[in-house]
Structure 1
């Protein structure tokens, strides 16, 4: 009995000792876990602090070379960073300093090219003094390619064009561009003043000749079978060349097939089909609604034209002013928020007495250019502008003018010259296209061609397919 009690007492003592040992061990484990957590937190905070100090240290001691663009290779990115897209933001403004800097970079030509151009100019002048005008002209063309905005090169090139080729219009254009670069250029100013009267006479004679051809076409009876065939052919030609200028690859026969049958052409995209259908719808709308409309042209009329031009291609954007900034070569059109008031001003000019007093070809060409310059739509600006131009011409008794797709580069070049300040070359280009279209009708109705013996194979090329 005594032994049993002694064993029980010893067991209890052992249990107490084990419990105390476990409690001490658990206490040490808990302390170790807490210490480990605290260590991780301290190391993490120290890492962040060190990285911040290192970054500030590198920024402070960065060399100027690192901040100079173009001194090291950069990864090409598909989209610019936000700070390079300031012009896209409606609320942003372009500072005067940044605008002047960009103009200066764009206008200043490389020194080496300018030096070579001036050397070529000096040699050309020497050859010209020796009577070797053909060689002098080639050297001046080379100098013009090297320094297309140098006023001396432009002026001397114009003088040589006037002397050798007797091309007064192009010479006057060179003088004008020289004055645009240097308004105080005495030789260019004197040359332009000298040819001014002759240029005006040539432009007036061209417009009179166009009026005479228009009156001759207007005198042809509507029942004339040849005229009816010519109108139908001109309709397909107009669609084919108008969409072709924008890059449509449909041939003339394919364009005719899409318009007449509404059947798809194999190997051509849906967009190309819809561009043709949209232009067909816009022409029919103009012919049935706007051409005989009383009153002036309105903004809604222009939107309705565009709604049909782009209706099959992009129904959501058709008939709507653009809501984003766009870029057209070197021309930056107005911001989207400026478009509605600019279009109101444009329509006000369209219906003004000063505009209506202009010759229809001049009036139509200026309307075309002014609208393209505003660029009010995200797409279809060129087609809508050419349709507006043809609406004005049709109201004045002219047929719809066909701007040939073969003249695409020249067409855009004339628009660029207009952006540079000289809109006359573009007006002459539209006058030339108008005369070509009239020649098409006169050639198609052979009994009326006797009044214009100069109409020959050049008119036939209008109705030939590429």
Structure 2
């Protein structure tokens, strides 16, 4: 299926995704999520936010690990100050999102917060105004759509998100649809930088509005960091050009978010 006909409200792949993540006839994912929600938090929500921000930043090349970030006193953060600031800004963006509804305007504001040390001031919290290609090593891995199409595509995306948020989704559908949001968001690549961080923030933001605040402690960023080679391969296999993406190959990517609930389950 070409991206031009793919919307995040589309359930074309839902049955195949559900079979791959827990069974077609019984709702394994719902049982697993309920078990996850009922599990006793092992730390404060501040810790979970710090963990999310550290791992999301590490995926993008930040060298600081969780222990070093948490245990470093502010006066000792002059070394690698930019990397500390990137994480602190992302923590602030998560904190902002926890208090707001998931809307296009609020996403732009959240991006303005998380990108303070990633982009120049004129590019923070605004859609990109130039062409964008994703580099992998010494080669171009993906060509995003023209910058002139970004606003239209993002408005379409958030129109669909608003439609999905009119009613509370059950866990299976919440996980399925937000994984599609993540995928389509990174394919649009709407910002000059901070797209991966923004997509991972959107996951928890969406889940929390459907499934409650426990969603904020889902270790999805840590899971992606640990399985980052698979994460990028699952993106890469869909294609190198926005207008030639093959969403029939999306199931492995859509499986990664529910897989973050391990050790509550083991997915195939």
TM-score range, shorter chain: 0.7 to 0.9
Cα RMSD, aligned residues only? 3.0
Q: Deviations over 1:199-257 (max 9, x none)?
A: 7534343993332232234345xxxxx62626444333212211000000012122214
**Are the aligned partners of 1:324 and 1:336 in contact in 2 as well (CA < 8 Å)?**
yes
Q: Deviations over 1:157-176 (max 9, x none)?
A: xxxxxxxxxxxxxxxxxxxx
Quote the Cα distance in structure 2 between the aligned partners of 1:354 and 1:280. Answer: 24
Q: Secondary structure at the match of 1:385?
A: helix
Larger radius of gyration: 1
**Are the aligned partners of 1:239 and 1:255 in contact in 2 as well (CA < 8 Å)?**
no
1:428 aligns with 2:255: yes
Q: Note the 1:175-186 alignment, pairs <5 A.
A: none
Instruction: Give the length in aligned residue pairs.
Output: 231
Quote the Cα distance in structure 1 between the aligned partners of 2:16 and 2:130. Answer: 45
1:416 aligns with 2:221: no
**Are the aligned partners of 1:333 and 1:373 in contact in 2 as well (CA < 8 Å)?**
yes
CA apart distance, 1:264 = 4.2
State the match for 1:175 in structure 2. Answer: none
The alpha-carbon distance between structure 1 residues 360 and 263, as it changes in their structure 2 partners (threshold 3 A), is: farther
Q: Note the 1:47-446 alignment, pairs <5 A.
A: 201-205=19-23, 208-219=27-38, 227=41, 229=43, 231-257=45-71, 261-265=73-77, 267-268=79-80, 270-287=81-98, 289-290=99-100, 293=101, 297-314=102-119, 315-328=121-134, 329-353=140-164, 359-395=173-209, 396-397=211-212, 398-400=214-216, 401=218, 402-404=220-222, 405-419=225-239, 420-421=245-246, 422-433=249-260, 435-436=261-262, 439=263
TM-score for both structures, normalised by structure 2? 0.75
Quote the Cα distance in structure 1 between the aligned partners of 2:16 and 2:187. Answer: 29
CA apart distance, 1:399 = 2.2
Q: Secondary structure at the match of 1:403?
A: helix
Q: Deviations over 1:389-409 (max 9, x none)?
A: 110112223523423323222
Quote the Cα distance in structure 2 between the aligned partners of 1:431 and 1:364. Answer: 11
TM-score for both structures, normalised by structure 1? 0.45
State the structure with bigger RCO (CA 8 A, min sep 6), 1 or 2. 2
Q: Deviations over 1:123-143 (max 9, x none)?
A: xxxxxxxxxxxxxxxxxxxxx
Quote the Cα distance in structure 1 between the aligned partners of 2:17 and 2:153. Answer: 32
CA apart distance, 1:303 = 0.2
Unaligned runs of 5+ residues in structure 2 are: 3-14, 135-139, 240-244
CA apart distance, 1:313 = 3.6
Q: Secondary structure at the match of 2:41?
A: helix
The alpha-carbon distance between structure 1 residues 201 and 339, as it changes in their structure 2 partners (threshold 3 A), is: closer
Q: Secondary structure at the match of 1:330?
A: strand
CA apart distance, 1:377 = 0.4
**Are the aligned partners of 2:186 and 2:195 in contact in 1 as well (CA < 8 Å)?**
yes
Runs of 4+ aligned residues of structure 1 deviating over 6 Å after TM superposition are none
Quote the Cα distance in structure 2 between the aligned partners of 1:274 and 1:209. Answer: 40
Quote the Cα distance in structure 1 between the aligned partners of 2:181 and 2:166. Answer: 9
User: Larger % of helix: which?
Assistant: 1
Quote the Cα distance in structure 2 between the aligned partners of 1:373 and 1:390. Answer: 19
Q: Secondary structure at the match of 1:324?
A: coil
**Are the aligned partners of 2:17 and 2:251 in contact in 1 as well (CA < 8 Å)?**
no
**Are the aligned partners of 1:278 and 1:313 in contact in 2 as well (CA < 8 Å)?**
no
Quote the Cα distance in structure 1 between the aligned partners of 2:54 and 2:18. Answer: 34
